[in-house]
């Protein structure tokens, strides 16, 4: 997908995000998915192979800089365009959206909390896809309980010495810039840690193991060990004023991650629905297509209705986040509902397909394996319910 026409559409988008242009960008990505992704997605996924060629095309399209401001070499697009792109990518293969998610969370942290020097140092390279970002927050005893982080960064002159183990690091090997949460004397601080992309060892950083997964294949999820790794004091996000505020920075950025999860859930659900309705029109039982049976029609109606509701919730959260407003409630709602919808739709797709849906000949089994990740990624849905309820109560208190 490297035609000049595709590049012109993406470059034109930096000046406007009107609905027509937004749809043109989405169509460009849809064409890429239809031609380049769908034909190879199942083979790559079953082989758990890193999609090097597909990611190179994504870089050529400018997707690694999609939300990064133009002044740093990005496209500077709004989140409504971003969620449309993520939905289309996930319609073809969900793992591709994971490459962008933590990368753009890292960029978001720099845009909103980085010093001018940090922005100039890293954002142009992130926008160009020269380096890719990843997020390193979770630990074995600090998943939902983010305040229990034990990874430590000790000040030593003009450097920090980092020691600890991080879990569930998506893009941990391929990334060249890690957004790391570590405990300092001031509290939890976010650090921007450079490493050599593609290397499992760099300085005091080592990838100790690649974590096997039910789905979400082709994209590495790793455990990373920091053993006295040294970074400059200027790598603390936000400079001296940012010390001890890293957890707040990261939790705010995770609102973007939850919008990403919601958009990818809509994309996977849509793929599962399209597979189901097409199969229902082709598969015949008792002398007619199963789409003519009322039991199947009810399933299709419920699937389509929930997908549309999930899309609207996702757009609502994206609009609020784009406006610079706090969107913890809206992002949580979108992530919660869309991920539950994707899981339900994937199960119904398998039921509609019957035995053939359980085989590896069709992508239905991949949708079924991919969707559980979205129930737990970027905060479990149980945590989302708490976030939503507490946010609603806080807003009520603020009004009174």
Question: What CATH number does domain 4-128 carry, 3.30.470.20, 3.40.50.1380, 1.10.540.10, 1.10.3720.10?
Answer: 1.10.540.10
Query: Was domain 133-245 assigned CATH 2.40.110.10?
Result: yes
pLDDT band for position 191 (50/70/90)? very high
Residue span(s) of the chain under CATH 1.10.540.10 come to 4-128
pLDDT of residue 53: 97
Concatenating the DSSP letter of every residue in 327-388 gives -HHHHHHHHHHHHHHHHHHHHHHHHHHGGGGGSTTSTHHHHHHHHHHHHHTTS-HHHHHHHH
pLDDT of residue 167: 94
Cα(92)–Cα(42) distance, integer angstroms: 10
Query: Which residue among the candidates 194, 348, 365, 378 is catalytic per the annotation?
Result: 378
- For the stretch 334-383, pLDDT in tens is 999 999 999 999 999 999 999 999 999 999 999 999 999 999 988 899 99
- For the stretch 20-44, pLDDT in tens is 888 899 999 999 999 999 999 999 9
Concatenating the DSSP letter of every residue in 278-305 gives HHHHH-EETTEEGGGSHHHHHHHHHHHH
Strands 133-136 and 177-184: parallel
Please check the confidence at residue 272 and state whether its pLDDT lies above 80.
yes
Q: What is the CATH number of domain 248-399?
A: 1.20.140.10
**Residue 50 CB partners (closer than 8 Å, separation 6+):** 174, 218, 219, 220
Within the chain, what is the greatest distance between any pair of CA atoms? Answer: 80
Residue span(s) of the chain under CATH 2.40.110.10 come to 133-245
- For the stretch 91-104, pLDDT in tens is 999 999 999 999 99
Cα(127)–Cα(107) distance, integer angstroms: 8
Share the mean pLDDT of the chain.
93
- For the stretch 104-122, pLDDT in tens is 999 999 999 999 999 999 9
**Residue 350 CB partners (closer than 8 Å, separation 6+):** 357, 358, 364, 365, 368
pLDDT band for position 333 (50/70/90)? very high
pLDDT of residue 4: 36
What percentage of the chain carries pLDDT values higher than 90? 87
pLDDT of residue 17: 62
Range in 178-182, 198-202, 230-234, 258-262 the model is least confident about? 198-202
Q: Is 378 a catalytic residue?
A: yes
Q: What are phi and psi of 337, to 5 degrees?
A: -70, -45
């Amino acid at each position: 997908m490297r035609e000049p026409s595709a590049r012109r559409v993406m470059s034109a988008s930096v000046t406007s995000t009107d609905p027509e242009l937004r749809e043109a960008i989405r169509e460009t990505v849809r064409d890429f998915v239809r031609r380049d992704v769908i034909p190879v997605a199942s083979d790559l996924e079953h082989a758990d192979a890193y999609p090097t060629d597909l990611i190179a095309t994504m870089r050529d399209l400018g997707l690694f800089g999609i939300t990064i401001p133009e002044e740093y070499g990005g496209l500077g697009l709004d989140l409504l365009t971003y969620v449309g792109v993520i939905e289309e990518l996930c319609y073809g293969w969900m793992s591709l959206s994971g490459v962008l998610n933590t990368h753009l969370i890292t960029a978001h942290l720099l845009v909103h909390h980085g010093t001018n020097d940090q922005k100039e140092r890293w954002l142009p390279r992130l926008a160009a896809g020269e380096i890719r970002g990843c997020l390193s927050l979770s630990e074995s005893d600090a998943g939902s309980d983010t305040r229990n982080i034990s990874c430590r960064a000790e000040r030593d002159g003009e450097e920090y010495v980092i020691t600890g183990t991080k879990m569930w690091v998506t893009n941990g090997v391929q990334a060249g810039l890690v957004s790391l949460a570590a405990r300092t004397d001031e509290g939890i601080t976010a650090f921007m840690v450079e490493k050599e992309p593609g290397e499992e060892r760099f300085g005091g950083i080592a990838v100790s193991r690649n974590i096997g997964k039910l789905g979400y294949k082709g994209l590495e999820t790793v455990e990373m060990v920091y053993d006295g790794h040294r970074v400059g004091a200027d790598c603390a996000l936000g400079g001296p004023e940012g010390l001890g505020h890293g957890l707040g920075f990261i939790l705010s950025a995770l609102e973007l991650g939850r919008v990403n999860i919601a958009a990818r859930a809509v994309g996977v659900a849509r793929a599962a629905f399209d597979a189901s309705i097409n199969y229902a029109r082709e598969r015949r039982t008792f002398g007619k297509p199963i789409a003519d049976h009322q039991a199947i029609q009810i399933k299709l109606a419920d699937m389509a209705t929930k997908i549309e509701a999930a899309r609207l919730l996702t757009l609502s959260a994206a609009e609020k986040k784009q406006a610079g407003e706090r969107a913890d409630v809206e992002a949580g709602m979108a992530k919660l509902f869309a991920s539950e919808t994707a899981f339900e739709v994937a199960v119904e797709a398998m039921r509609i397909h019957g035995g053939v849906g359980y085989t590896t000949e069709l992508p239905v089994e991949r949708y079924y394996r991919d969707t559980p990740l979205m129930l737990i990624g970027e905060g479990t849905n149980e945590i989302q319910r708490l976030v939503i309820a507490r946010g609603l109560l806080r807003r009520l208190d603020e009004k009174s």
